[in-house]
Structure 1
Amino acid sequence: MNFEDFKENFSSDVKDTLERRNGIEYEVDARTVEKMNSTYRRTGSFSDRMIRNEWKGK
């Protein structure tokens, strides 16, 4: 398994676990971030509900 396959599998597993535990749909992405002269990879998730709550200031 190469790193790209690992990222896809990891993101898919996180998404499936979050949806199964919480009963809502999530989006999970993996991206490269450059910050303060450093580069790192991160995986992030969010749901439509999380976005709506943030928009309302909760």
Structure 2
Amino acid sequence: GLLVFDKEQRLLAVLSRLGEHYDGLSGHWYLEAGFGRLDARDPPTFADLEEAQEWIGQRLARKR
């Protein structure tokens, strides 16, 4: 897993790497928990951490 913090060291998200039993998604990253603007009703999966970082950046850049 991976914890995502902001500049003030507040927890923004928890990402988990999917294992072998997730057909077709093994090795992908999953948004286990998102807080604030990263809260998602249908948590996404990401092919890699770059994709996750891009998604997080887009969500944080949105106006409230």
- Larger helix percent: 1
TM-score (norm. length: structure 2): 0.32
TM-score normalised to structure 1 length: 0.34
From the two aligned structures, give the one with the greater strand fraction: 1
- The higher relative CO (CA closer than 8 Å, separation ≥ 6) is in 1
